[in-house]
Structure 1
């Protein structure tokens, strides 16, 4: 409804709501001022959105990508100082912005005239900060400023040094910062402000956890971040299930940490006590070489041989416990349709073979000291005690509880934002591209309704109280979401964990991907998905992770003519030998969509000492001749609705339906 079509009669219908609105805007002047402010915001350039996925505990690379905004900071420094600073000086300025505290220490060790350096550097930082803040309102910038320097930074940002009357004024401020000994602190504050203003919105499209050493550090960073959302991945949901007390999820989370010798998140991050597992493993597998269970590389610092052997023993112990717990869960949930994953009872322990699909497959490891062939899924008393101790440790971790609440508060199964549809892995489809129906608690769901129902169950599993039917189902379903064939977070025929550990048979290990992974290449299928989520397919994108793009084999992240963007390029070091790169990030700014391909990150230490940045290649996917404004975004549509409501309030004031309060 436009302003010109507003009538007293139409306004009367919403009088109760407008009376509530009048509490915030008690007079005509208040309402008109807000309308002017909102109209001004609508005509600013769209803020930069940043998309990352499949971080897998690689905290150093993640934090560096945030600091340099996937190379955006470096490109801005190049644009501003290409003709006035040498390449080494531009590199030093970038490193200062990324790591101000550490870089300042190095500068002090080599600079003979720090006062001169401070003055020059502060002028440079002001120019960068003016550039990155130019697309925001003064109000938004002001809210991002460190309180102790708010007034000073506002003056420096909004006063032009080109004005003769202001030149001495600005130099006076900078001189006072240096002479009062606050230069280090001020430079640090300015650098963090530049980092913050460069990224307006951060989207994490799943899989923060597992493999790498620092998932807890990533979560610490996110929980403090100014504006972000998360679309849960299967590895996130595994930890969410573990934090809710699902023992099968707990066993999987511990197993994966041991598989990659990456125990920092468990022990240092969340204080999970692994001593009972180590003691149990040494007792049961002390004379077992556990060769199959030696950890993969790519986790924490390389352990010595004695530690490797202990990790292998713990790894095998918790893996066997996992298969028992999963077997029990599958037995009590026949509706999951996962009886094909009951494999312990298919083992001929005497002959050392696995009987499946009418075949006998030799086992690579035949030592099962805790498995009773007559009742293979029964936990021994010692295993029961171990499981209870691990469960208690997960449920008692205050830091884990804090991070889970952050995951729930900022997370969801999918997100529709600015014509983009974000979800981690897939939407279950039939072979013909129609949405596959899935039964949950006796009711059938498909497409968007399925994802909405699953999102609700995920929240019930963690926040639900008591032992009601839905809560118990939801708690078990958290594990299913990790590895079930109809899970939109997994969507494969099976998770062949048992076969990968205990057999060398490639056919037995084969996991067949769901139809989505091939059909997403077809534009007609993408259009059907867009329509399901209320999007216009002509200008929309699906943004996924989950399946690493094997760049070494020539695979491209763009599917279906650019309608699908798969941006898992190997952030995790464990994937980099396959992908050949170290991940993608996607940037969506007022000029269009840009895909950034990253080379492996050396380390924060080398970045600080040598000025080494992540080497990145920029690919422009879409370029708009007319810059996108806030008006063109979802936030813009919300602001336009607020303007419409405020115009209705003005009509109510001017017609006497509501009286002004002065």
Structure 2
């Protein structure tokens, strides 16, 4: 028998007894928890670098990275035609829109309802099979909770007594005019149960048109977390009040001709920038600032292109000034060499970098004073104040950044997997590199990530001391482009060089040692040890750097210990990667990497039943099915069982009295 320190735990046990007031209650919960431990583990999905591609992202959630389609094929096999299976999947993904189309073409809608309802119940039964009835019940909409439960748990195949019962339920759903509502409800339940947990390894923002729509989706999502990416940090910095981050956010939106998230999503007023840019750069061709067009931006007319380029240059020039001001204020960052305006010879149109002189492709800097090159003009100051105000009063932006803080962190350890977006700063020999976070704090490895996360959070707290809060706000720009930032980890961010210097040697950004050494299994093991990740099948999972599949690069590195799952969701990366994103799926049998081809559109999926074409790569499979007992959740449940067994001991030995709802306590 276990020995318990009842006196030490008495206060906690008394609180626990309020939830489980009798021996019967505590025993029942132990039985329930022990049963849960022996269920198959839930399916986890890992995605990275979504970059605003909301339609593709939402479709991957709806089809569970192709898993729903696979289950439909397994369930119905050759008993249902391929076209009908495609239509059923399309209905599951987009029930409201698909129903409208179906009702326009079906001659006998009641017959269609009858067949479809039975098919949807069968699919729902399959996706819910690994969960407890309690968990499934909590996932059901209140309107149809009882009905769906009855249909899921009443099998008619080998029970003729129940056939009429189930058929009457289905018939009555149709006859009472609730078929559409029921179909929508059960399709949403199927989507909900197909993915147990979602892990996003950073970079929801920038490039694509709908980061705000993705955040709206996540606000309603059942279970998710995010490890912040460098682009997410940029938006968080802009929201916190860092003007350099704000300029970068606007610059990137203009560079990719994507103002939807800024203007439509968050109501950022860019009219002052447009007015300033037209006045200031009226005679400047701004050729190097023409936007990169992809997707819908290809429809941009010449006048809009011209204005976009002018706005792009205007905010970029201000960005370099704002960055230089912060670098000047923080000499401990060793980034004064990035105050590039100071190295320009404005008469010759050249710049001196690393002891070598380079010709500038353009030396049109009408707002730069060579004597005080990093100083804003009065007009630029007014513009920045207006833009700053617009970011600060955007309620939706602040709501989404609170969501980032609520669900996010710099890293996470989930079921023996270490998750982070980009890099662990390393020395040349692969050992953990010490990085100065503040002038008084030097950290490495896990502590570096933890303290960085705490510093980020302090920028949003009202009780942070003024000086500390300002430092935290400034630090966002270091996280974006600092050489030892775990979200960047390169020698420099060559934004200025790419805009103004033709010599591509200056464009090179030397990657940190992590990127050079991450295929070394021993070094990966050392990192996992340093973060306290245990288990025989532990891994690092991250994104940030697109995997060049078309060039033969393998996303699985270090003998399978490290997985890079940035497959290029963003249209801007499709030509570079040759694919359109990855999903890493971790189910009870092991890991599968799902490689996606480009997504056409939700409208196409609804009208023609098209789906994202996905290819599965087996990464690691287990001979034994993983159970809940083998997961982090299982460890928590085992602790709960231990606590309940201690409570039982206290009840049975009279140390705590059982309670009775009617009398307060059970008589001895």
One fold, TM greater than 0.5? yes
1:635-650 to structure 2, matched below 5 A, reads 635-650=633-648
Shift of 1:97: 0.4
List per-residue Cα deviations over 1:410-461 (Å, max 9, x = no partner): 0000000100000000110000111100123212111111111000000001
List per-residue Cα deviations over 1:79-125 (Å, max 9, x = no partner): 00112111111111100000111111111121111000000000000
Residue equivalent to 1:378: 375
Shift of 1:298: 2.4
Residue equivalent to 2:148: 153
> Could you tell me how far apart the structure 2 residues matched to 1:537 and 1:136 are?
25
Residue equivalent to 1:559: 557
Residue equivalent to 1:533: 531
Residue equivalent to 2:484: 486
Runs of 4+ in 1 over 6 A off after TM superposition: none
Residue equivalent to 2:666: none
Q: 2:58 aligns with which of 46, 51, 63?
A: 63
Q: Which runs of 5+ in 1 are unaligned?
A: none
Residue equivalent to 1:305: 302
> Could you tell me how far apart the structure 1 residues matched to 2:63 and 2:436 are?
45
Corresponding position: 1:324 with 2:337: no
Shift of 1:300: 4.6
User: Greater shift after overlay, 311-320 or 14-23?
Assistant: 14-23
List per-residue Cα deviations over 1:270-306 (Å, max 9, x = no partner): 0000000000000101121111000002265331111
Q: 1:111 aligns with which of 106, 110, 132?
A: 106
CA contact (8 A) 1:530 1:537 kept: no
CA contact (8 A) 2:209 2:261 kept: yes
Shift of 1:11: 2.7
List per-residue Cα deviations over 1:477-506 (Å, max 9, x = no partner): 111101101110110000000000111111
Shift of 1:170: 0.7
Residue equivalent to 1:223: 219
Residue equivalent to 2:160: 164
Query: SS at the partner of 1:601?
Result: coil
Residue equivalent to 2:664: none
Query: SS at the partner of 2:297?
Result: coil
CA contact (8 A) 1:531 1:537 kept: no
CA contact (8 A) 2:278 2:310 kept: yes
Residue equivalent to 1:519: 517
Corresponding position: 1:209 with 2:201: no
> Could you tell me how far apart the structure 2 residues matched to 1:536 and 1:41 are?
23
Residue equivalent to 2:665: none
> Could you tell me how far apart the structure 1 residues matched to 2:51 and 2:385 are?
27
> Could you tell me how far apart the structure 1 residues matched to 2:57 and 2:349 are?
44
Q: How many residues align?
A: 657
Residue equivalent to 1:408: 405
1:20-169 to structure 2, matched below 5 A, reads 20-162=15-157, 163-169=159-165
Q: 2:187 aligns with which of 176, 179, 191?
A: 191
> Could you state the TM-score of these two structures normalised by the residue count of structure 1?
0.98
Query: SS at the partner of 2:199?
Result: strand
> Could you tell me how far apart the structure 2 residues matched to 1:638 and 1:178 are?
44
> Could you tell me how far apart the structure 2 residues matched to 1:453 and 1:84 are?
57
1:333-412 to structure 2, matched below 5 A, reads 333-412=330-409
> Could you tell me how far apart the structure 1 residues matched to 2:306 and 2:598 are?
29
Residue equivalent to 2:249: 253
> Could you tell me how far apart the structure 2 residues matched to 1:556 and 1:466 are?
45
Corresponding position: 1:419 with 2:416: yes
> Could you tell me how far apart the structure 1 residues matched to 2:118 and 2:178 are?
15
Residue equivalent to 2:455: 457
> Could you tell me how far apart the structure 1 residues matched to 2:219 and 2:28 are?
34
> Could you tell me how far apart the structure 2 residues matched to 1:114 and 1:172 are?
17
Query: SS at the partner of 1:462?
Result: coil
List per-residue Cα deviations over 1:609-640 (Å, max 9, x = no partner): 11110000001111112111110000000000
User: Greater shift after overlay, 433-442 or 230-239?
Assistant: 433-442
Q: Alignment RMSD, CA only?
A: 1.0
CA contact (8 A) 1:425 1:546 kept: yes
Query: SS at the partner of 1:81?
Result: helix
CA contact (8 A) 1:542 1:565 kept: yes
